[in-house]
């Protein structure tokens, strides 16, 4: 972070050290750089010997990791990180959790704060350093009731130790009506109140550094200073716009094509629809080029939209190979579609490497709500595709001795057998959650009964091998609430 952002970060550091208030809430719209501020702040706090960075949690519903969106994972994560840094705190946590160490994740958020944080922190009363916890992107959590309980518990937090909470989020309704929005009790910074000229200067420096750090052998002069200024002005305060444009432009390793892409972006943005935001215009530009009817066949467009829907709905990291098998496509065909989306989708280099994800949560907002009709995706499409494909893959692959064990008397090998691919693991772990996420009226009774009734023990075998058999009962309860499963 640069320029104005340095001032914001220094203000955070001063607040952590000196201000008596316990909560600082950083508020900003999508794409304004909240997470970048939070990441840099954590690095600064980690390097500052006068502050104890207790723990961090970066929420995300696009990280292909369901734990990143679960409110009840936040406090246990913070507690674990602080326990690794303080033996006194760790001893206090152990005392509170005896005899049930597995209870932490199932506690309501208010109890988690009180039992796992507030009580053990009493052991750090002699700690002279302020203890800071950073929780980023709270708006990307999945349970509003749990989130409200967490915010209420944090707002009323009391400890003899000097504890500071730094929270970031969009200005959504659940935050504006919560205790953290009380300016008399908490410090609040709205990013949109920063001078727009200073923000544009930050973005200009960011673009210039990103272009300069990836020089090309055939030319060092593929862009002009005036191009950087123009791109920064078009961004209109949105760091994610700049990041998306940079990813699109620098995806080419040729100076000629980079110059051409830069010119095309600037021309397209200057001629864009005036009623659209700069970020929406950027998304439309990237996705329209990726789905151009002059370059892409209708079947290719369908594959691309299916892939986008599933990446946005995925509940754990997937590879291109795994997603291709789930969707019934060839991996090279799917990779060909994803190559055109590098500016908005993180695509691992290797086909079998997990990590497919959207680069920013705002991509889903755009595709679900504001995209052009030919590329718009319904918010339930990813869950629907996964629900069908998970059950279909389980029906195809679950069979006797699916784990290829030599004997039922032997313990599971710590090495997962080749027969349990990432796609099958995903299907066995996530099928019920995708089905239960679909709108009312979606019927999977027959499919679920066909798969689970005839392959129940084989499914349990996979769950055991991947170390998740403890989740099976909860998953079956969810399924039984939707269908008449075992009658």
Instruction: Tell the residue number behind the tokens 């550094």, with chain if given.
Output: 209
Query: Taking the alpha carbons of 364, 369, 373, 377 in that order, is the dihedral positive or negative?
Result: positive
First to last CA, the chain: 60
Q: Which fold has domain 4-193?
A: Rossmann fold (3.40.50)
Q: Is 70 exceeded by the pLDDT of residue 339?
A: yes
3-state helix, strand, coil in the chain (%, to 5): 60, 5, 35
Whole-model pTM?
A: 0.78
Average pLDDT value for residue range 183-189: 90
Quick one: pLDDT band at residue 1, thresholds 50, 70, 90? very low
User: pLDDT per residue over 208-223, tens digit each?
Assistant: 999 988 767 655 678 9
User: pLDDT per residue over 17-33, tens digit each?
Assistant: 998 889 999 998 888 88
User: pLDDT per residue over 428-445, tens digit each?
Assistant: 999 999 999 888 756 787
Quick one: pLDDT band at residue 2, thresholds 50, 70, 90? very low
d(CA 180, CA 426): 37
Q: What SS3 state is found at 186?
A: coil
d(CA 390, CA 379): 18
d(CA 114, CA 112): 6
User: pLDDT per residue over 393-406, tens digit each?
Assistant: 999 999 999 988 77
Q: Is 90 exceeded by the pLDDT of residue 447?
A: no
CA distances from 358 to 311, 329, 401 (A): 7, 20, 36
Instruction: Please give the structure tokens belonging to residue 231.
Output: 């791109």
Average pLDDT value for residue range 161-172: 93
Average pLDDT value for residue range 340-362: 91
Quick one: pLDDT band at residue 449, thresholds 50, 70, 90? confident
């Amino acid at each position: 972070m640069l320029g104005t952002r340095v001032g914001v970060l220094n203000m955070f550091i001063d607040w952590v050290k000196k201000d008596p208030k316990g909560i600082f809430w950083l508020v900003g719209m999508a794409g304004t750089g909240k997470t970048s501020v939070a990441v840099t702040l954590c690095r600064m706090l980690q390097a500052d010997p006068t502050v104890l960075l207790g723990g961090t949690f970066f929420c995300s519903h696009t990280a292909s990791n369901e734990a990143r969106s679960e409110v009840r994972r936040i406090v246990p994560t913070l507690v674990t990180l602080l326990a690794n840094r303080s033996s006194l705190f760790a001893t206090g946590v152990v005392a509170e959790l005896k005899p049930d160490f597995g209870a932490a994740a199932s506690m309501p958020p208010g109890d988690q704060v009180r039992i796992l944080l507030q009580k053990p922190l009493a052991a750090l009363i002699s700690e002279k350093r302020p203890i800071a916890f950073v929780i980023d992107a709270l708006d990307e959590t999945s349970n509003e009731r749990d989130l409200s309980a967490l915010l209420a518990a944090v707002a009323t937090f009391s400890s003899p130790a000097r504890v500071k909470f730094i929270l970031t989020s969009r200005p959504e309704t659940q935050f504006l009506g919560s205790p953290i929005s009380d300016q008399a009790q908490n410090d609040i910074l709205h990013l949109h109140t920063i001078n727009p000229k200073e923000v544009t200067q930050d973005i200009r420096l960011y673009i210039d550094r990103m272009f300069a750090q990836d020089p090309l052998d055939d030319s060092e002069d593929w862009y002009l200073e005036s191009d950087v200024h123009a791109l920064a002005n078009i961004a209109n305060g949105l760091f994610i716009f700049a990041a998306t444009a940079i990813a699109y432009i620098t995806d080419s390793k040729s100076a000629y094509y980079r110059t051409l892409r830069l010119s095309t972006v600037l021309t397209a943005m200057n001629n864009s629809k005036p009623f659209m935001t700069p970020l929406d215009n950027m998304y439309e530009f990237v996705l329209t080029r990726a789905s151009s009817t002059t370059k892409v066949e209708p079947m290719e467009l369908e594959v691309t939209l299916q892939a986008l829907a599933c990446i946005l709905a995925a509940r754990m990291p997937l590879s291109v190979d795994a997603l291709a098998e789930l969707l019934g496509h060839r991996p090279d065909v799917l990779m060909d579609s994803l190559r055109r989306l590098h500016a908005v989708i993180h695509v691992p280099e290797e086909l079998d490497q997990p990590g497919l994800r959207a680069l920013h949560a705002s991509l889903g907002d755009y595709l679900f709500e504001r995209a052009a009709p030919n590329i718009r995706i319904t918010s339930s499409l990813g869950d629907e595709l996964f629900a069908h494909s998970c059950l279909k893959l389980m029906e195809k692959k679950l069979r006797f001795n699916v784990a290829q064990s030599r004997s039922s008397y032997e313990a599971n090998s710590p090495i997962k057998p080749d027969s349990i691919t990432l796609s099958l693991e995903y299907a066995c772990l996530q099928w019920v959650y995708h089905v239960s996420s679909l709108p009312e009226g979606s019927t999977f009774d027959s499919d679920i009964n066909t798969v689970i009734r005839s392959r129940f023990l084989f499914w349990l075998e996979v769950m055991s091998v991947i170390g998740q058999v403890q989740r099976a009962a909860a998953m079956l309860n969810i399924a039984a609430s939707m269908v008449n499963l075992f009658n």
